[in-house]
Amino acid sequence: MKKLFMTFFVLVGILTASTLYAATLFGIVSDKTGKPVEVKVTLKDDKGAAVGTPVTTDKKGNYAFKEIKPGSYIVVVGTKDEWKIFVGPGETRRDLSLK
């Protein structure tokens, strides 16, 4: 019985994994001089609702939102800088430069 449950959970896991989105949004956040910045990045859908958990860029300014649904999004960097972008199938790179 235990083995049966294990097999069931493994199968469910595999099926779930194979139905994940490949769409990924990633890039680098830099200041106006081009220097990478450590800052909070929030992803919102086109209606303004937060998508997933906000991320903080690393020392090299990298950020990434993985396995998201393709479509229109608003990327909020820090508190005031916003970009309206479209994330297509697969990987989408957007480097964001602060003013």
Partner 1 sequence: MCDEQHPKPEDPPKKKDLWDIMQALGPALIAATVAIMGSVYSYQQAQMTKASEMREVYTKIMTERESSDNNIRASMFQMLFNAMFDKDINSAGTPDNISLIKKRVMFLDVLSRNFDTVDIKPLFEDLDGELTKKIYNDQSYSDGAQKDYFAMRAELRRIGRNLSVKQLNALASLPGTVVKSIVLIEDKDRNLTVMQDERSANESGDNSIPVEIKSQSLDDGKVEISLEYQKTKASDQGFKAPSFIVTFYDMPYIDNSVIDKDMRVGVVLTKYATTNDLELFRDRIDKRLIKDYEDLKAGGITKYAELRLIKFPAKYTGHRDRPYLQEILQDLVEEKKTKK
Residues lying near partner 1 in the complex (CB under 8 A) are found at 18-23, 69-72, 80-86, 88-90, 92, 94-95, 97, 99
From the list 76, 73, 68, 71, the residue with the least C-alpha distance to 52 is 68
| Min CB(5)–partner 1 separation in Å | 27
For partner 1, which is the closer residue by CB, 36 or 97? 97
Alpha-carbon distance of 90 to 83, in angstroms, equals: 20
For the bound state, the minimum distance from the C-beta of residue 48 to partner 1, rounded and expressed in Å, comes to 13
Give the whole-angstrom CA distance, residue 56 versus residue 97: 15
Phi/psi for 63 (5° steps) reads -135, 160
Distance in Å, CB of 59 to partner 1, minimum = 19
* CA pair distance 65, 71, nearest whole angstrom: 13
- Based on CB atoms, which residue is closest to partner 1, 6 or 71? 71
- Closest to partner 1 by CB, 55 vs 82, is 82
